[in-house]
Structure formats: structure tokens, C-alpha cells
Chain A
Amino acid sequence: AQTVTQSQPEMSVQEAETVTLSCTYDTSESNYYLFWYKQPPSRQMILVIRQEAYKQQNATENRFSVNFQKAAKSFSLKISDSQLGDTAMYFCASPSQLTFGGGTRLMVKP
């Protein structure tokens, strides 16, 4: 069975600063994708970023980037220049997307 663990239930960051959300996973698959999703308060869950396991290069989407450590099965999300609109629940999802982590509630403070 696949497992996904997010060890930080809540985090806060000052506006314009950088924050990193942690995620570890377990899988027996050799080629897979990993995903970070964002769920703003009372709004729909949307994809933030996707990483392909066979790619050496870490994925980047504007202010969002990942630190993918395949051997350690670690997949952290870095948010640079945090904005108030980044306040949300963030979920890490397993390769098959059948398993999600417990979520990290991020609060960006002005």
C-alpha cells in the first residue's frame, strides 16, 4: 500500500518570505508522478505542481518549486515570495493519486 505523510499540520509565514512544506511517501513503483494540490478556504482544490519521478530536474511553476529526493522518497514544496492568496490547505498526493497526505494548513500573514 502507498502511504503519504505530511508532518506539518499547520505553518505560517510572513508575506514575501519563503516557506517549505514537507512530504514523504512510499511506493514500489519505479516510474511515477507526484502532485501538490492547494485548497483555498471555501474554494475548489486545484493542482499546484507536478513532478515526474524519472526527471532529475525539480519542477518549477512561477513561485512554486519542489525539492524531489527520490532515494529519500521526499517531495517538499517551496513557496517563494509568499502572498496572502497562498493561504490554503496544501495536500501532497501519491503516485497513483489514490492516497493523499493529511494536509498542511498554511497561513500567510501580512
Chain B
Amino acid sequence: DVKVTQSSRYLVKRTGEKVFLECVQDMDHENMFWYRQDPGLGLRLIYFSYDVKMKEKGDIPEGYSVSREKKERFSLILESASTNQTSMYLCASPPGGQLPYEQYFGPGTRLTVT
């Protein structure tokens, strides 16, 4: 069974803290994505990675960075958390290849920054 897991379902952090959101996939996929989900705005792409140590900015990378040291793990980092980063964060991983196959999503991490 395909599986994408995220380290926390709920997280509460203070303004200015450094926050790590972890995502692990057991499908040996090369591609991994981080989205942010906000009401009325849908999913917005923060960063994605097509290979180990490779990363590409999405539509809203400001305030975020990522790390992909191993194929199965893709971390999203909030260098200095701010209240406007309170949101649901979704990790996803599709199979590789030329065709855009379906995304397999993790359960999400609901982050609150106070």
C-alpha cells in the first residue's frame, strides 16, 4: 500500500521559532511536493523536489526552505515562524516518469503559530 506520512498532525509554535515539518514516503518515488492549504485559496505549491538534494521553488517559497538528503524524506523548514504561516501543510508524492500521475498525499500537518 502506498504511504506518505507526516511527522505531526497538529503543531503549535511561537513566533520566531524554527519549525521543521517532516514528510516520508515509502514508494521509492523521486518526486515530492509541499503544499499549503488555506480556505478559499486551495492548495498552493511551496517547494518541490525531483531528486535527492534537488529542489525547486513553487509559487509561494518566501519564508520557507526545504531539505532532501534522502530519497524518501522531504523536510519543510520555517526559518522564523510567523503568524501568517498558520495553515495546513500537505506533503505529496507522485510516481515519476513523463506522464503526470496522481499525487499521493500525506494526512497533513495543521500548524498554528502564536
Contact = CB atoms under 8 A, between A and B. Distances in A.
Interface residues on B, range: 20 to 34
A72 interface: no
A95 B98 CA distance: 12
Contacts, number: 47
Given A91-B43, A103-B42, A97 B100 contact: yes
A37 B43 CA distance: 11
B100 A32 contact: yes
Contacts of B90: 45
Interface of A: 4, 6, 9, 32-33, 35, 37, 43-47, 50, 91, 93, 95-103
24 contacts: A6-B42, A35-B102, A37-B105, A44-B106, A44-B108, A45-B92, A47-B102, A50-B102, A91-B42, A91-B43, A95-B100, A97-B94, A97-B100, A98-B45, A98-B58, A98-B59, A99-B59, A100-B35, A100-B42, A100-B43, A100-B44, A101-B42, A102-B40, A102-B41
